[in-house]
A and B are shown apart, each in its own frame.
Chain A
């Protein structure tokens, strides 16, 4: 073993001390050098070749936690030593002892020095043998590096890393959570892992505002029951502060709570509020079996976890609401009653649910999904309204809420009620999302009602116009007012009678037999022998019935004034049918009355028979003024009886 080797082996030791030469006994003994070593903040001591302590600096005494005894202590300045794993290390086995025994430097062997007060200090020693001026082995010098700060920093880093890992796992699990239970389980794991507490719990306000356990780790049922409902905050509180209790017995909490907490074997606990949408929704708790000082770092971490959990709870609630409403919408859209649409405005692309294709009566390929194509599907009648409403919604954010008539490509009209929201990127509208409901049946009912009202108005006004015309005919050319009034009233009664019949049949049609009977019954003798009414069952539509009724009225009043119904022997026979496939004929035949003289002028009766029947029923009327009695033959073409229905 040459000096050069030793020199080389000492380099590692030399460097930290800044020494240019190998330490020798003489050098170490020089006053200058002693001064340097004494003032060195690192612990340094020397022994002789037997390991007996020959020198130590103040830093060594401080590290050892005792005043080492020169000439007595062996191997080390410390009281007791341990292996890093905690096993005791006899002083004679320490790295310094090895260095002395084997006359070599020992490196990289960590030891734990125990102070007399029980404190343990991790130490990395650098024991190095040294030689006198003649090169003889003279003893060893040891530098002790206190690792406790480094160890603490390492632990800090480790703990920080573990907290970060716990938070990361927590975030990840929250993201994947599919149920509230998942969220609470993730939170409990994160609380225990990151905060290093012994037990933990999560409590949430229920619907009645009572705080209930939703998950816990290591708590007894008795405890949960005892403190269930206890809350430092109300559900309406907006800015709750966390509460940390280092020692429950020293706290100002209620005796009941103290008792329950102590009975559970808990000494320290923390209440961390969970805030969601600005309101306290619950809390989580950490419990320590022993009294515990909640450090700033712990508090900050607890608040971080609470914030994460609060977000997760809010997210879950939103998701649940969204899912519920989406499920309802899905059900509705599947039932085909509601369609959803989504218009990407800059991209000019409209997405429809399947149900909307159904509502528009088209197949998927038939809609190119552009705005222009959709506008083409809107009925021209609705186009102005719809485009105006879209314009106002995009420009002024006006509510989009319209009834749209669509002209389906299958030729079917559909009415949709649709409303929508406009989504914006800043001011710019980027999307319009809406729902559409089929209101065709409601619209049809409305249209039906409007039609009926219009039809009724038309009928009433036409009837009044007819009355005006009848009045003019009745009063125009007749000699006396009295006669005119009687004729007019009779005609109005006939008109009213036919309307009554039509109303009874719900405007469906009146049987010819009824029309005839209504006019002739007033003249019927007791045994009915003066009348003969015969023919197959046939009904006439409203307009035909009105004209026929009035014509029959004119015939009957004429017979009662001048014809067969003026004498006891007179008879009126009304027969109808389409004998031998010929045209439908109604024959009015009078007999037994006074001899007939053809009238000089053509009155309202003839006007009605000869022109009104011709015009309104396309019928032909032949009036034959035979001396033995009037015969009126009304012939109706088949087309006029087509609207008429066989009936009673």
Chain B
């Protein structure tokens, strides 16, 4: 854990997750890894607003937000060239082709793999 603690030092992670209990656990985990959590946002509207307003290095997105799909936000982040990954119960086959190459982890997630995936997308700052 000591190792994980600094893996995401200073990385601003934008989180959209609609399940409160899941989001608090995720928030705790990311903070412990040294990340700064932007969010969590729990629906598409607040997610879009948050993404427009806040600065962040990487986004971790749930796919199904109480029946609404995250795709418009994912499209926008891709258009802006911001790295993103999905954290979801969905498989690649359930999602549109254009997202097939993006990193994806299944819930419940393995913490080490989550942090690895985020670190690959947004390496911690040296400063």
Contacts and interface: CB of A to CB of B under 8 A. Distances in A.
Contacts of B97: 381
Interface stretch (B1-9, B14-22, B51-59, B115-123): B14-22
A612 interface: yes
**Residue of B28, B63, B64, B107 most packed against chain A (CB within 10 A):** B107
The 7 residue pairs across chains A and B that have the minimum distance between CB atoms:
A461-B89, A458-B89, A454-B94, A469-B21, A469-B25, A612-B20, A465-B107
A466 interface: yes
Interface string B18-51: 1111111100100000000000001000000000
Interface of B: 18-25, 28, 42, 63-64, 66, 88-91, 93-94, 97, 106-109
A111 interface: no
A607 B108 contact: no
B103 to A, nearest CB: 17
A510 to B, nearest CB: 16
Nearest to A457: B89
Q: Contact residue range for chain A? A: 20 to 34
Contacts of B109: 465
B74 to A, nearest CB: 16
B42 to A, nearest CB: 5
Given A457-B91, A611-B24, 6 more contacts: A455-B64, A458-B63, A458-B89, A458-B90, A616-B18, A616-B20
Interface in A557-611: 607-608, 611
A458 B64 contact: yes
A465 B19 contact: yes
B90 A543 contact: no
Most chain A beta-carbon contacts within 10 A, residue among B19, B93, B97: B19
A345 to B, nearest CB: 30
Interface in A528-562: 543, 547
Nearest to A607: B24
Contact of A612 (B21, B25, B93): B21
Nearest to A546: B19
A473 B64 CA distance: 24
A458 to B, nearest CB: 4
The secondary-structure label for the interface of chain B is: mixed
23 contacts: A381-B97, A454-B89, A454-B91, A454-B94, A458-B63, A458-B89, A458-B90, A460-B89, A461-B106, A462-B22, A462-B89, A465-B19, A466-B22, A467-B108, A469-B21, A469-B22, A469-B25, A473-B21, A543-B18, A611-B20, A611-B24, A615-B20, A616-B42
B25 A457 contact: no
A455 B63 CA distance: 11
A615 B23 contact: yes
Nearest to A454: B94
A461 B108 CA distance: 6
A472 interface: yes
| Consensus secondary structure, chain A interface | helix
A575 to B, nearest CB: 25
A543 B65 CA distance: 11
Interface in A440-496: 450, 453-455, 457-462, 464-470, 472-473
B44 to A, nearest CB: 15
B98 to A, nearest CB: 10
A466 B19 contact: yes
Contact of A469 (B24, B64, B91): B24
A469 B108 CA distance: 9
Nearest to A455: B64
B107 A462 contact: yes
A462 B19 contact: yes
Contacts of A470: 21
A450 B96 CA distance: 13
A616 B20 CA distance: 7
B19 A458 contact: no
Nearest to A611: B20
A465 B22 contact: yes
A450 B90 CA distance: 11
A543 B94 contact: no
A470 B106 CA distance: 18
Contacts of A468: 25, 108
Contacts of B28: 472
Interface string A377-391: 000010000000000
A118 to B, nearest CB: 101
A381 B96 CA distance: 10
B94 A457 contact: yes
A465 B89 CA distance: 10
B105 to A, nearest CB: 10
Nearest to A470: B21
A232 to B, nearest CB: 67
Given A455-B64, A466-B19, A543-B66, A461 B24 contact: no
Q: Which residue, A465, A468, A473, has most C-beta atoms of chain B within 10 A?
A: A465
A453 B42 CA distance: 23
A435 B67 CA distance: 39
